[in-house]
Amino acid sequence: MTKVLVLYYSSYGHLEQMADAVAEGARAGGAEVDIRRVAETAPPEVVAAAHFKTDTAHEVIEGPDALKDYDAIIVGAPTRFGRMPAQMAQFWDTTGGLWFSGALVGKVGGAFTSTASQHGGQETTLFSILTNLMHHGMTIVGLDYGFKGQMGVSEVLGGSPYGATTIADGDGSRQPHAEELAGARYQGKRIAETAAKLAA
């Protein structure tokens, strides 16, 4: 059975919800799925003052070597000024040994994100994640236009051909929309199916 890792960082729970949806889609695509998060690196006083969500059912990833165990890796992180946050970047900065050995070459990768506003850097953040995956030699699967939920302009919604997205609002009050979660499931399923075909 194809093995998929959903690896994420979430400050307020939006990406945690998206990670669960991505994993649900990957399971529907026939994969065995693990969900892991990267460690929080912000000082405890910052975490407390900013009211970060610290209760989660997902374990912190054991380290970069764990990535070798998967056929596909789907990475989710919110935007920080149009790029992935330091917590996720710090994790990928520890994967040099995997890059040197080519351990991730040929695996399937994807990305998902959230922003405070509709034009808050979703696509640049996705690319900041995807750049790392491409340097590792991974085959990228985005949120293709087979998912029609990202079409139309009657409602403000996330969604990008580069990966599933959601919009949180400046105060984090907006939760992922049903259509955004559906996009995350779609992308997870497509990645699992692609990984299975490549593994065969």
Q: Walk me through the domains of the chain, giving residue ranges and CATH numbers.
A: 3-199 (3.40.50.360)
Give the pLDDT band of residue 5 (cuts 50, 70, 90): very high
13 belongs to an annotated ligand binding site: yes
134/129 Cα distance (integer angstroms): 9
Encode pLDDT of 118-150 as tens digits: 889 999 999 999 999 999 999 999 999 999 999
Residue 21 has what pLDDT?
98
99 belongs to an annotated ligand binding site: yes
80 belongs to an annotated ligand binding site: yes
Backbone angles phi, psi at 62, to 5 degrees: -65, -30
83 belongs to an annotated ligand binding site: no
15 belongs to an annotated ligand binding site: yes
7/23 Cα distance (integer angstroms): 10
Those residues with Cβ within 8 angstroms of residue 65's Cβ, 6 or more apart along the chain or in another chain: 98
